[in-house]
């Protein structure tokens, strides 16, 4: 079975600063993908970034980067230069090759302070 | 194509009533997923369609739940004899890429409240 753990229920960051949201995962499948999603209060899940288990480099998408440490089974999301619009719930998720669905963590509520 | 559409956005129903939700995926996406999200939790997988075939169902999908995807286009999720524990956000997602590397596109969800 796969498991995603997000240990930070809530995080605060000052506008324009960087913030790291933690995610650890557990799976015995060597082939998997890791995802981060943003969920504003409107409810929609917005795809942010993807990292494959065999990818050699850490994924980056604009202000988002994924700090992938395979040996530690961690996939932390780094948001640089935080903006007020970044305030939302953030979910880490995983899909193993043998499965079709995503397994989500419990999320981190990020609040960006002006 | 503006993304994944879900209807209705909100539904309030009395316990024991039946409800049906609709999801219209991105037109070229052949994979469709239903998830349920309770307050303060991450989404939990319910069921998966590839084209019109329902290929996987979670144990969370009790006998009161049924999902269809006729002709491999839109999908419906029906809950019969609703219970208060069914109150949740029901999210639909679609994808084209089997690995999901390009992301699963989610709709805005249907929030169900059973009173």
Residue A16 pLDDT grade (very low, low, confident, very high; cuts 50, 70, 90)? very high
Residue A34 near chain B (CB below 8 Å)? no
C-alpha span between B115 and A114 (Å, rounded) = 39
pLDDT in tens, A18-41: 999 999 999 999 999 999 999 999
Average pLDDT, chain A: 95
C-alpha span between A35 and B39 (Å, rounded) = 21
Measured between CA atoms, the residue of chain B closest to residue A100 is B48
Say if residues A26 and A88 touch (Cβ distance below 8 Å). Answer: no
The closest CB to that of B108, out of A43, A91, A103, belongs to A43
The pLDDT of residue B71: 85
pLDDT at A49 over 80: yes
Measured between CA atoms, the residue of chain B closest to residue A51 is B101
Q: Token pair for residue A36?
A: 């981060």
Mean pLDDT computed over A34-60: 93
Instruction: Identify all chain A residues contacting B101, using CB atoms and an 8 Å cutoff.
Output: 33, 50, 52
B101 vs B21, higher pLDDT: B21
A98 vs A9, higher pLDDT: A9
Q: Token pair for residue A100?
A: 């079709």
Please name every residue paired with A26 in a beta bridge, in sequence order, or none if there are none.
A3
pLDDT in tens, B3-60: 999 999 999 999 999 999 999 999 889 999 999 999 989 999 999 999 999 999 998 8
| A12-26, A32-46, A85-99: range with highest mean pLDDT | A12-26
pLDDT at B100 over 70: no
The pLDDT of residue B104: 87
Token look-up 């409800």 returns B19
Q: Token pair for residue A21?
A: 């949201």
Say if residues B45 and B52 touch (Cβ distance below 8 Å). Answer: no
Rg (CA), chain A: 14
Residue B1 pLDDT grade (very low, low, confident, very high; cuts 50, 70, 90)? low
């Amino acid at each position: 079975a796969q498991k995603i753990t997000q240990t930070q229920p809530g995080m605060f960051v000052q506008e324009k600063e960087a913030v790291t949201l933690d995610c650890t995962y557990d799976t015995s499948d060597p082939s998997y993908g890791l995802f981060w999603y943003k969920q504003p209060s409107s409810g929609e899940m917005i795809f942010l970034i993807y990292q494959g288990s065999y990818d050699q480099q850490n994924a980056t998408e604009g202000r988002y980067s994924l700090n992938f440490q395979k040996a530690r089974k961690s996939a932390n999301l780094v948001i640089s230069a935080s903006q007020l619009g970044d305030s939302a719930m953030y979910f880490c998720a995983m899909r193993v090759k043998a499965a079709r669905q995503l397994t989500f963590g419990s999320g981190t509520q990020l609040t960006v302070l002006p | 194509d503006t993304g994944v559409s879900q209807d209705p956005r909100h539904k309030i129903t009395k316990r024991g009533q039946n409800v049906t939700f609709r999801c219209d995926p991105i037109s070229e996406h052949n994979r469709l997923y239903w998830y349920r999200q309770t307050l303060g939790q991450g989404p939990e997988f319910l069921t998966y369609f590839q084209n019109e075939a329902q290929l996987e169902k979670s144990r969370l999908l009790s006998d009161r739940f049924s999902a269809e995807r006729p002709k491999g286009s839109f999908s419906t999720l029906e809950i019969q004899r609703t219970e208060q524990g069914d109150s949740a956000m029901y999210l639909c997602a679609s994808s084209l890429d089997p690995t999901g590397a390009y992301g699963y596109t989610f709709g805005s969800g249907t929030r169900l409240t059973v009173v």
